[in-house]
């Protein structure tokens, strides 16, 4: 699970969650960080 936010729109209190399998997590992380969105990984299960 990637936890991320768009700092241009939301403050630190608003975090979105994006579910991703281990195969796709790196691609989604690259997508978010390339746009300047802070994100972190949270393991589920």
pLDDT tens for the chain, 45 residues long, are 999 999 999 999 999 999 999 999 999 999 999 999 999 999 988
Read off the DSSP letter of residue 8. T
Residue 44: per-residue pLDDT: 87
> What's the pLDDT score for residue 45?
81
Does the pTM of the predicted model rise above 0.95?
no
What phi and psi values does residue 30 have, to the nearest 5 degrees?
-60, -45
- Asked if residues 29 and 17 have their Cβ atoms less than 8 Å apart, the reply is no
- Dihedral (CA of 20, 25, 29, 32) sign: negative
**Residue 10: predicted pLDDT:** 92
Q: Which residues contact 18 (CB under 8 A, 6 or more apart)?
A: 1, 2, 3, 4, 28, 32
Strands 16-18 and 39-41: what pairing? unpaired
């Amino acid at each position: 699970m990637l936890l991320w936010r768009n700092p241009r729109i939301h403050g630190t209190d608003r975090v979105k969650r994006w579910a991703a399998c281990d195969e796709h997590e790196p691609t989604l992380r690259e997508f978010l960080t390339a746009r300047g969105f802070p994100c972190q990984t949270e393991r589920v299960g």
